[in-house]
Structure 1
């Protein structure tokens, strides 16, 4: 999920924007005329309080009533009727009810829920014996392996906070994260031992390093910690009475934003939010008992959108995928009967552009959940033809991953492919576990009209919003100003309540005083038969202020397409001022989750103009 923008630009509006309601002016009292002196009258009966006096009196009575509420007098929380929520209980229950059900598959390894739960308790026990205490940070640098899954349960079961680190980051960035999170332990997959060693040399903290040696990895890399993960687990108790949180508001995980404007921010999740979002995934994706879930989404990304915990609720099977490419995904889908998977648009691109050698004919439909840019009609059609049903979701690192879903209506199936794609391009409505979602004018904090045209900022409110940013009270205060989480994303509200993103606030291009949505231009570019991926950014322009520049990654065998052809295609499908002024053909820079790094494209666009 994208990180929150630093600050949203004022809402761009079409037509009259909502304004704050003005207060009615008090009636002007007429000047009193001189009165003749009158004899004294009897004191009138006391009048009923009105206005502010009435409100104060009602509030006083209300406070009194609350104190006397019989339902609150002797019916307090106790150990029998209240326990803090934590997603770790999902694994405990799965192991109790389905002990022999396959929990994890990784290459030649296959682990039952009984064994999975025991290993997680061993990890928790070993961490406690090492001296890890409540609130300590345990970091892990690993791909989608069983050890990464075990960390998602074993670390919280020890009372500690899990920090799953993006292994695509630089050593300097990882060193910053280790210091900022004050890591006490670092679990390192052998493939990333060199990266970890470099990061530790830059960091001030000196965490205990534990080496993970995945049998499925036969590449380079030497252990750096002197203690293997399996030896560490062997010293733990498989029957350990794992530690439950005293308060569900306690931190369970620490994740970092992309850091496109300086150092990344540490986003803190609590047990309650992780528990609820895990359930919200199942409800929103209609996942039933015993799914087979393929790990094509990095577990370090928002804790795998909390599917690390979701799948245990329904005693599903986790199919770990160390290398994500078309061949490994198709092979896993065919071999294990995969039912569900998640991924960024780049993952869909891998699947639909797979060669005949890589592609496998699927005997079952695979439900595919995607976020970020909405899938074009052509991509949706090709995904469906390959056996994948695509579901569009939206969220941010600060909302534990997806918190908005394009809830599909069966009557929409009757529409033609282009119309279905247009409907599916909308981000949708709130998850059942998100209490409120709105599109507002960020200046007035008033809702924008539900007309599908007036643009505002998307705001979240509820239990699946982060605790805040670690050691950054200023950023936390700004993010929660007005009692809402400010996403930094700009969008519109349709009359049926579905929201649709138009851009990140920082990605809106203002050219000649007109707002240009980069998403709108990208959608048109993706319809060109030669385009595999596209991104549009603004570049400073002496005449127009900003001008759109398109960056394009071409499909194999389409290298002969020209800049003029691309611009002509856009001008035929867009208002001319929205068409790119320049087109640059290159491999697009991406994050480890497949998100295009537009800040790098802006730098490149500026260099090309110089």
Structure 2
């Protein structure tokens, strides 16, 4: 006789929607007196942070913000940004943290495309927001985040909201409910809106605690911008372990190093370029940090030379890999004991691998898309990384066609070409898309090319990555000039800078006829080889 397990009921007693909101409710009680955030000389306990979040939630609801409404935030990392990672979703709304390094035109596009209802903005970014409003010819309600409180240009002040009466703690009715909206860097033109749900964020946070082996009460320096995959979901993970989150207004290498020393930082996340800047800073302690600081790094594969320097500085680096569409990291380079016997240079090469799946991710495939078969684990045969996990996006906002394409065959296709080593570790070899990762920021070659084509002297243009000593790689422009037209490299770079964010602006320009196929398509692989042979830029 077959057992009838399916008859067991699902009730509020045995099924609760998964949401990272629950992590803060617990932290505010369990870790009540312990420090939660420190910034600009102000330290708040977990109980205080919990009360502030509940008050901001109530204020949002009082303003008519509720289920499915988009609330945008334009702010550097600071406690208010951290608190909004809980307050906005607890109100039932969707958090849209906007990249503060973008130009006004793209900010305007995101505000419009996301259907944003209101904006929380750091006072220092008021000029950027005003320009974006002017482009859209639409002014949204603004809440100021300022040091100290006011003056700003918004209709309300964050501190006043945080001092108000609290809302009752509440989880979403459905864990599949949208939690956050993160925009890609527009790798194929306009940026896409990536939807995260409560369930995914909850599991990503738990998986990070397990995969990074986070201890109780770490002191975490908030470096990863919270507009990047919601700070790689670290704001939610840190509540689980009752961390002390430290925020630095001075994000220069010297400023970060001083903060690391002052607070006894034990953990941080940062792009490889930040690690390199820390290692090369004159302010770096000559004997390094002891005990070592555990560092999470992602964005572009870190050069082994940088990892060698990081080890000397006392940074114990874990390389991870992921995408905006996967809530951030989905694989990690777990250290293997035998690697400790290798020379430092070889250890660094091992550390640069993208590694194996995180605990919350199903096995990662490297697939020959032509055959649909996994590539052999020979470290040579390239395929595309396919991912299946509860931490894969809900989909692209208002773009069902792109969503269907990304999920073809029941896998999320990364667009990254990789090999699989005999030990099961994945290593990225190239990018299938023409993405340039500069200082941890994704740059769309298509977007830069579109600007170049606006220049009256340019007949044709193509943009590829060129190695850079500091930023890892930067845009390199290849241009064909129109007949009887003359323009200098400096003039073209200046033209681009007037239309693009600084990190998107080409740092070198090569004047040449573009190699094309018989159908007129630019052969970018030839341009990449030329850029590689030119060697890295120093400045």
TM-score range, shorter chain: 0.7 to 0.9
Note the C-alpha offset of 1:225: 1.4
Gaps of 5+ in 1: 1-64, 509-517, 523-534, 538-545, 556-585
Match of 2:200 in 1: 273
Give the conservation status (yes or no) of the 8 Å contact 1:362–1:386.
yes
Verify: 1:209 aligned to 2:142, yes or no: yes
Establish whether residue 114 from structure 1 lines up as the match of residue 47 from structure 2. Answer: yes
Is this contact kept in 1: 2:74–2:119, CA < 8 A?
A: yes
Residue from 465, 469, 483 that aligns with 2:396:
469
Cα distance change on mapping 1:609 and 1:353 into 2, 3 Å = farther
Match for residue 433 of structure 1 among 347, 360, 368: 360
Q: Residues 123 and 145 of structure 2 are in contact (CA less than 8 Å); yes or no, is this contact kept in structure 1?
A: yes
The answer to whether the 8 Å contact 2:307/2:351 transfers is: no
CA–CA separation in structure 1 for the residues paired with 2:17 and 2:257: 40
What is the aligned partner in structure 1 of residue 157 from structure 2? 228
CA-based RMSD of the aligned residues comes to 3.0
For the residues of structure 1 that align with 2:335 and 2:305, how far apart are their CA atoms?
A: 19
Q: Which one of 75, 81, 90 corresponds to residue 148 of structure 1?
A: 81
* Residue 58 of structure 1: aligned partner: none
- The question of whether the paired residues in 1 share the 8 Å contact of 2:36 and 2:46 is answered with yes
| One of 392, 398, 402 as aligned partner of 2:329 | 402
Per-residue displacement from partner, 1:425-477 (whole Å, max 9, x unpaired)?
21000000001310001122211111110000001001010001000001000
In structure 1, C-alpha distance between the alignment counterparts of 2:130 and 2:408, rounded to whole Å: 40
- 1:207 is paired with a residue whose SS is coil
Q: 2:37 corresponds to which residue?
A: 104
Equivalences for 1:68-83 in 2 at 5 Å? 70-73=4-7, 75-83=8-16
1:138 touches 1:155 (CA, 8 Å); kept in 2?
yes
| Distance of 1:360 and 1:263 partners within structure 2 | 46
2:70 is the alignment partner of 1:137: yes
Query: Residue 186 of structure 1 contacts residue 209 of structure 1 at CA under 8 Å; is this kept in 2?
Result: yes
By how many angstroms is 1:372 displaced? 2.9
User: What is aligned with 2:254?
Assistant: 327
Equivalent positions of 1:35-434 (< 5 A) are 70-73=4-7, 75-203=8-136, 206-215=139-148, 223-235=152-164, 237-238=165-166, 240-356=167-283, 362-434=289-361
Query: SS at the partner of 1:506?
Result: coil
Q: CA deviation at 1:233?
A: 2.9
**Which structure carries more relative contact order (alpha carbon 8 Å, separation 6+)?**
1
State the alpha-carbon separation in 1 of the partners of residues 9 and 313 from structure 2. 55
Query: What is the DSSP-based 3-state SS (H/G/I as helix, E as strand, rest coil) of the residue aligned with 2:305?
Result: helix
2: CA distance, partners of 1:547 / 1:403 = 29
The alpha carbon displacement at 1:363 in A equals 3.8
In the TM superposition, residue 282 of structure 1 has moved relative to its aligned partner by 1.3
Q: Which residue of 2 aligns with 1:52?
A: none
Q: Give the match's secondary structure for 1:503.
A: strand
Shift of 1:605: 4.7
Instruction: State the Cα distance separating 1:359 from its structure 2 match.
Output: 7.0
Provide the rounded CA distance (Å) in 2 between the counterparts of 1:314 and 1:357.
29
TM-score by length of 2: 0.81
**Where does the alignment leave 5 or more consecutive residues of structure 2 unmatched?**
446-461, 472-492, 515-539
| Alpha-carbon distance between aligned partners in 2 of 1:360 and 1:168, rounded to the nearest angstrom | 34
Q: 1:205 to 1:399 in 2, by over 3 A?
A: farther
Q: 1:69 to 1:468 in 2, by over 3 A?
A: farther
Contact preservation (8 Å) 2:416, 2:428: yes
Cα distance in structure 2, aligned partners of 1:483 and 1:393: 24
Distance in 1 between residues matched to 2:512 and 2:44, nearest whole Å = 53
Residues 49-101 of structure 1: per-residue CA shift (max 9 Å, x gap): xxxxxxxxxxxxxxxx9xx751012x121010100000011111111111100
Residues 283 and 294 of structure 1: CA distance in aligned 2, closer, same or farther (over 3 Å): same
Deviation readout 1:26-53 (Å, 9 max, x if unpaired): xxxxxxxxxxxxxxxxxxxxxxxxxxxx
- What whole-Å deviation, never above 9, does each CA across 1:343-368 have from its counterpart, x for those lacking one? 11110111111014887853431011
Q: Distance between the aligned counterparts of 2:248 and 2:369, measured in 1?
A: 41
Residue 393 of structure 1: CA displacement? 0.3
2:278 touches 2:284 (CA, 8 Å); kept in 1? no
Inter-partner Cα distance in structure 2 for 1:358 and 1:442 = 48
Q: CA deviation at 1:260?
A: 3.4
CA distance in 2, matches of 1:84, 1:208: 31
Output the CA distance in 2 between the equivalents of 1:358 and 1:192: 33
**Contact kept in structure 2, 1:327 and 1:359, CA below 8 Å:** no
The answer to whether the 8 A contact 1:454-1:492 is kept is: yes
Aligned residues of 1:179 and 1:205 also touching (Cα < 8 A): no
The Cα shift of 1:596 comes to: 7.1
Contact 2:123–2:152 (CA<8 Å) still a contact in 1?
yes
| Alpha-carbon distance, 1:261 to partner | 2.5
Total equivalences in the alignment: 469
In 2, the alpha carbon distance for the partners of 1:503 and 1:388 equals: 27
SS in structure 1 of the partner of residue 364 of structure 2: strand
1:232 deviates by 2.7
